[in-house]
A and B are shown apart, each in its own frame.
Chain A
Amino acid sequence: MNEQEVTPEILGVLRSMDLFKGKDPDELTEWLGKAPFEGGAECVLRQYASGDRITTEGSFGNTFFVLTHGTVSVTLGPEAQRLATLGQGSFFGEMTLISGLPRNATVAALEPCQVIEIPRRAFEPWMKKPGPFRNTMDQTYIERGLGNHLRTIPDFADLDTGIVRELVKQVRLRIFSKDEVIVREGDDADSFYLIREGYVRVVKAMTGGEQRTVAYLKDGSYFGETALLSAKRRNATIIAMGKVEVIQVMKEDFFALVNRDRKFADHMAQEEQRRLAEKSSGQASPLGFIGEALERGLVKATSALVIHRDMCTRCGNCVKACAELHDGISRLTRHGMLFEAPVPQTLTILEPLLVTTSCMHCLDPECMIGCPTGAITRDVNGEVIIQESCIGCGNCARRCPYGNISMADVRSQEELAKQRTGAPIIGGYLKFWKTPENEPMMHEIETNNQKAVVRRVAVKCDLCQDYNYNHGCVHNCPYGAIERMDAGAYLHEVRGVG
């Protein structure tokens, strides 16, 4: 947005919102209007006609929206079930920025609308600082997230809207990182938990003190009700297997809910009976491959590159194709996680797989957090891509938990020419003249006694987006031994989790 677009009316709307409470007009104008290389956000003012879609359920996004004029509808599902109508001074689309998940509702204009589209790099700095922006975002996230989330859980779907609204005010959203203990076996039970996002491991102490994983639970599952209802201590330890978001309902609020809603109480009692019966029969959730896939983070992959080792003749066509398509630097290395995975449909046959060190386009990509120029982003199909604005800081490579992003020196004649344009001696060769375009990513290297100016950038699998077909490696495998796999869908096919 340029300064002319930031009108007093827009500033008035923004300042009336809880989100921007306490921000003075100059600060807001600067935030909305600064160019990206000056640390600005590159916010965009957009106009929509009546009926236009602003966001689509299921698509991925890197922006959230502030409605400065008009009204919009928020709908869910193929029947377009109306969830809410938002008016001037509302905001939407923040859920996808916080969770990294696809948009969970469709927003369409009900009349001509004006919105400000705000990208992740403007959102993140303000979310890091305590203040009204972060508080409002967190509260809205809980309210909207919990409301939608409860509708997806069969046991909670029939809860009265009034009760849900009340419940939302009482609960706490808690975020745990990998290996953090959520509840510990033997502790007093003080709350009930709903998993909003992520996977947890249920661990029990066996006779002899051995800690054994007995089940995995995924989002939509809940735990902690057994100890509350039977007034006993926790009978298992629950450990986060990655970033996990849970909704914590305190003991008193849980009992208030049980006492108010008979149906819900019955559900809980049945669930407790079922778990007790399962415990006495010695059954546990399936572990094996699924457990291993969860432990090693494969389950987060939406597009893992998998080699069927029994079909691969080791011809190397995949690596050659990748290097050929990406300036001689292959983004695919034939190393990675080895699995023996069940073949769908049969389940009794295992096949050896290699999940290569290649971008898995995670559901909640940690690499995208904190990119200073917003160069790493995801497109509407959910593919994580690194754009030209990468300055080679290496932040994404450090953050990727799977080591699937590497830093590479890319030689480019175009960059070389750009660097040496204008001031061939002072600017180009001695590097006194620094501009955002050519510093700090350009540097000189010497290989085989030849000097070359290279650009250090982050590289990763980009699914061969610039070509008229996808995935050079998959395309050029003569035996069809390499493929892209949605790990979540695959695991669902071979056996459900939790």
Chain B
Amino acid sequence: MNAARSVAPGARVSTSGIRPKRAERAWQVFAVVSVAGLSWWYFSAHQQPSANGYHRLVLGLGWIGTSLALAAAALSIRKRLAYQGVGRMSAWLRAHIYLGIIAAFAIFYHSGFRAGGPLLAWLLVFFSLTVVSGLMGWWLARNLPPLLTDIEETPALLEDLLAARAQCLQGMFELASGGSADFRALVEQHLMKETASWGRMFRFYRRRSMLAQELPGFQKEQAVALARLRPQEHRGFQRAAEYALRVNKMNAELLLQRVLRGWLTFHIVSTGTMFGLAAVHIFTALYY
């Protein structure tokens, strides 16, 4: 498959992840202009303070921020209407990201970067968590897939990886149970540790290497353990070592995939809490 690398002299593999498309550029321009407008409004109102102007600013920014945050949150409705022909998910996600960024500026300006009472302090904390987790998700989505691509043998989803890993572990146990007591002890005590070795896992990330590149070195490292076995068990041990390395590599992939999915839970929980607190805040502001 890597024959394609000879396409042009000096060709390099893209590590840029998601490249901005035209639609993304339009959103970027819109976001920059909107944030610039909001900033100008905020800072000009602070330079020429008047009670009326300041009140209008705070109220206006509050309503703008809330509306934009609700519009951004409409992505969750799109997920529930996945098959109703309501537009491309990627377009909705772009809207979600850029409306969310504009909403963040509007709401931080609305707060005046002051916490106020406990309710407002918590609201600000959860709002900040929502923004940070969102930006983190955005960063992860751009940067983890290229790393995953570099280390995975075949593109697989989390569920497929879990099933494959279970098969490898099963293979290891079967090999161990079919051997002598020494062999079993060596597989269970020595190789099982390797399946969960963080150091080895990070080596996959660092070197961006495939299984075939790591295997010879790994088997060499096992030479000392191998010497403790009878010659007829060497082949079985080497197979078990291959399983162990494979499991470790799958763990490396699984960790990335879990991170790619896991941040969303954090984002959803903080967003939900933030909206709950915001509802209380709006109610109290309107009522009192």
Interface residues of chain A, those whose CB is within 8 Å of chain B, are: 286-292, 307, 309-317, 319, 321, 324-325, 334-335, 338-343, 347-352, 354, 467-469, 472, 474-481
Q: How far is the CA of A478 from the CA of B261 in the complex (A)?
A: 13
Annotate B1-45 by CB proximity to A: 1 below 8 A, 0 otherwise: 111111110111111111101000000000000000000000000
- Contacting pair A334 B155 (CB below 8 A): yes
Contact of A313 with B260 at beta-carbon distance under 8 Å, contacts A335-B154, A348-B8 already known: yes
CA distance A480 to B24 in the complex (A): 11
Per-residue contact bits, chain B 93-104, to A (CB 8 Å; 1 contact, 0 not): 100000000000
CB distance from B248 to the nearest CB of A (A): 19
Q: How far is the CB of B121 from chain A (nearest CB, A)?
A: 33
Contact between B12 and A338, CB atoms less than 8 A apart: no
The answer to whether residues A349 and B155 also contact, given A339-B4, A467-B85, A468-B85 and a CB cut-off of 8 A, is no
Interface residues on B, range: 35 or more
Residues in B neighbouring A289, C-beta threshold 8 A: 3-4, 7
Q: How far is the CA of A446 from the CA of B149 in the complex (A)?
A: 40
Contact A478 B89 (CB under 8 A): yes
Which of B16, B21, B144 has the largest number of chain A CB atoms within 10 A?
Answer: B16
Tell me what chain A mostly uses at the interface: helix, strand, loop, or mixed: mixed
Bound-complex Cα distance A468 to B141 (A):
29
The interface residues of chain B lying within 8 Å CB-to-CB of A339 are 1, 4
Contact (Cβ within 8 A) B155 A313 = no
- 24 A-B pairs (CB sep. < 8 Å): A288-B4, A288-B5, A288-B7, A290-B7, A292-B4, A307-B155, A310-B14, A313-B260, A314-B148, A321-B82, A335-B154, A340-B1, A342-B11, A347-B7, A348-B11, A348-B12, A350-B11, A351-B13, A352-B14, A474-B88, A476-B82, A478-B89, A479-B90, A481-B145
Contact of B2 among A312, A315, A340, A472 (CB under 8 A): A340
Q: What would 16 more interface pairs be, CB under 8 Å, given A324-B82, A350-B7, A474-B88?
A: A287-B6, A288-B6, A288-B8, A310-B18, A313-B141, A314-B158, A321-B83, A334-B155, A334-B160, A335-B155, A343-B14, A352-B13, A352-B14, A478-B90, A479-B93, A481-B18
Q: Kindly state whether residue B159 has any CB partner on chain A within 8 Å.
A: yes
Q: Which residues of B contact A309 (CB under 8 A)?
A: 145, 148-149, 155
Q: Is the CB of A340 within 8 A of B13?
A: yes
Given contacts A342-B7, A475-B89, contact A352 B261 (CB under 8 A): no
Asked whether B163 is an interface residue with its Cβ less than 8 Å from the other chain, the reply is no
Cross-chain contact B3 with A288 (CB below 8 angstroms): yes
4 smallest CB-CB distances across A and B, nearest first, come from A288-B7, A480-B90, A289-B4, A340-B4
